[in-house]
Amino acid sequence: MIICIVSDSHDHSELLATAVESAQAQGAQAVIHCGDIIGANTLRGLQRFGLPVHAVHGNNLGDFMALTRLASQPDSVVRYYGDHADFELAGKRIFVTHYPHIARGMACTGDYDLVCCGHSHEALIEHVDNVRGGSTLLLNPGTVAGMNAPSTYVLGDLRTGEFSIV
């Protein structure tokens, strides 16, 4: 399963939609948003792609009630988890938070195959040694809004474990 990981859209719905559209054209079947969405309308524009969107809110909380309402609509593609998410996609355990320090700690537990974060606006793909003697993939897609950094997202294949910064 190919996924698109974004973060820090900061209400820039057009840039977010452009990234998701590009990722979908490359085979993405789901989106993970690592926070700093701000408004529900930022995600509402993703409805047209039909991909499930797994989202957390981040430190720029915005209107979390509107995000909750959007996610609760019967036809919504948005799954809004609050401040962190813990779920499975394609048989892989995934943890999502906005904060890199929490993400690193969760990666070290070895409980997850993939840990995603945002906040720093710096794209990163790293294998972190975990306490179980293995390694966990830690991803930060940077800022899709291009705020004080290039506009980036991560595209990857959960089956092969290959991820790249776009």
123-129 and 92-97 as β-strands: parallel, antiparallel, unpaired? unpaired
Q: Is 65 left (phi over 0), alpha (psi -120 to 50) or beta?
A: alpha
- pLDDT for 123 equals 98
pLDDT grade for 116, boundaries at 50, 70 and 90: very high
Exposure string of 100-116, with b = 16+ CB inside 10 Å and e = fewer, is bebbbebbbebebbbbb
CATH number at residue 45: 3.60.21.10
Angle at 145 (CA atoms; ends 140, 147), nearest 5 degrees: 85
> How many domains does the chain fold into?
1
**pLDDT for residue 64:** 85
CA dist 49 and 76 (Å) reads 11
Q: Give the span between the Cα atoms of 133 and 87, in whole angstroms.
A: 22
Q: Which domain holds residue 10?
A: 2-165
Average of pLDDT values for 98-113?
98
What is the tens place of the pLDDT at every residue in 19-56? 999 999 999 999 999 999 999 999 999 999 999 999 99
What is the percentage of the chain residues whose pLDDT exceeds 90?
96
CA angle 89, 90, 95 (to 5 degrees): 30
pLDDT, one tens digit per residue, over 143-157 is 999 999 999 999 999
Q: Which pLDDT score is estimated for 114?
A: 98
Residues 24 and 35: their CA atoms lie apart, in Å, by 20
Write down the pLDDT at residue 19: 98
pLDDT at residue 62 tops 90: no
Q: Look at residues 81, 139, 80, 78 and name the one whose alpha carbon lies nearest to residue 106.
A: 139
